[in-house]
Amino acid sequence: MDLPRPELALVPRPRRLSTRSGRLRLDATTRLRVTPGAEPAAALLRTLLTPATGLRLETAADGAFVLAVDPALTGLGDEGYGLTVSSQGALLRAARPAGLLRGVQTVRQLLPYAALSGRPVRGVPWELPAVEITDVPRHAWRGSMLDVARHFQPVSYLRRYVDLLALHKLNVFHLHLTDDQGWRMPVAAHPRLTEVGGRRTESMVGPAGSDRFDGVPHGGAYTRAELRGLVAYAAERGVTVLPETGVPGHVRAALAAHPELGTDPSRRLDVWTHWGVCENVLGTDDHVLDFFRTVLDEVMDVFPSPYVHLGGDECPTTEWERSPAARARAAREGLPGPRALHPWFIARMAEHLVGAGRRPVVWAESGVALPLECTVMSWREPGHARAAAERGHQVVRADHRATYFDYARTHGPQEPPAQPGPVVDLRAVYDVGIVPPTPDPRVAARVLGAQGQLWTEFVRTPEHIEYLTYPRLCALAEQVWDGGSGWLDFTARLAGHRARLDALDVPHAGPPAGVPAPPSVGGLR
């Protein structure tokens, strides 16, 4: 199959691209001219191109490949860039260093597809086509969420995950660190969270309600040094790591480590071995609030992200309704009943983050009124996004019908069993609605962007993660960056872009060998 020329297969599509005649050969004589502020982009360009090409791209005052930060280019915003390539040289410019990092990924995609390989490639002329590109993203929030609580992934893989996000000009890596089935976030003040909460005895593999388990213990936790290293690695690629340590539901692993945090401190629980929604929730006494304020302090110490995710969804209130202490707390706070403790708890944690200069992020839930300081991730219903934006919230779209990559990619017989729900095929992702229809431009402006989600109840390996993620995340990246070219144009470019995924050893076409095929169970999460 003949592939389109690389400049005709850029994903996501640049805002404006014009092709010219001529090509620029990159070889052992090629030098970079790097202006002040452009050094990180030059370092990234070398890091990305050297494995396949062997090019050293050393710095010289008269280098023909120029990387420049020019604050006067205000029309490019924080992440836009301009790229001009001719047979005599190349000029990559941006108003901010982040824009240069996006432009580096475009340079990488303009080269022959094999340039993305992690191994030396011989006999390929490393040439850039002559082009004129001006590129500015459509949305500021372009993200992807990976759940490492259900199935742990080593930090070495998380770095590869970041590299793939950066290639597609995504800028938020949402790291889901805690849940009922595992606690991966190190907390020095409370080491039992990872010592006990980071391991479960076995995993469920049977159909819903079957009580069948695989008998294989599973566990893992990160060190502070590993996470700080990941944050730095991501920042070098223009990606912010958004941490999530969820409350007041999805906390069974924390309760296994610290029973005193629950509604019944005398009860002893294990780390949950089931999937779905667990009814165990946090208690509402002051010591519980203080405990999780300490957790958030350590999260903020490791992750400099301006946003911190509090979870906040799928919180059954049955235990609060049965608990005299919880009912008394609701009465003292002037709440109408124990159910109102859900938004009350989130508000207490949000206050702590706001006081520290951070912005809380919360999953949207029906009937849960959140403080306006909370950025809302709308996942259940598209109407939640519009309602939240109309109330004054910042909004990130995460509609499960278009952005949940744990749902099956296709109805095909080779598709591994997946989370029950609609098939989310490539077209469903491409057709994601980001800005809800509204006549009020202020409401539209509150929609920051969108992100993909991969919950890992049935996803254990990096190969399975990437099969489910790509090329669906390519379609989402297209929409949050540009989104204006249409389905036929996108799929034509994707045909070439798949060759880049091949060079990166991403199993995008069909299930890779060894991908487990556990049966589906109930529940969206």
Contact 35, 68 (CB under 8 A): yes
Give the residue among 143, 128, 78, 42 at the shortest CA–CA distance from 480: 143
Give the ranges where 169-303 is alpha helix by DSSP (H). 192-195, 224-236, 252-257, 286-302
Give the residue among 255, 248, 234, 243 at the shortest CA–CA distance from 184: 243
Give the residue among 104, 55, 48, 179 at the shortest CA–CA distance from 457: 179
**For residue 315, which phi and psi values (nearest 5 degrees)?**
-115, 95
Q: How far apart are CA 407 and CA 426, in angstroms?
A: 12
Give the residue among 175, 165, 190 at the shortest CA–CA distance from 227: 175
For residue 332, CA distances in Å to 66, 285, 324, 329 come to 65, 11, 12, 5
Q: How far apart are CA 415 and CA 330, in angstroms?
A: 47
Could you list the active site residues? 314
Q: How far apart are CA 269 and CA 21, in angstroms?
A: 68
Angle at which helix 224-236 crosses helix 39-53, to 10 degrees, equals 90
User: What 8-state DSSP symbol labels residue 348?
Assistant: H
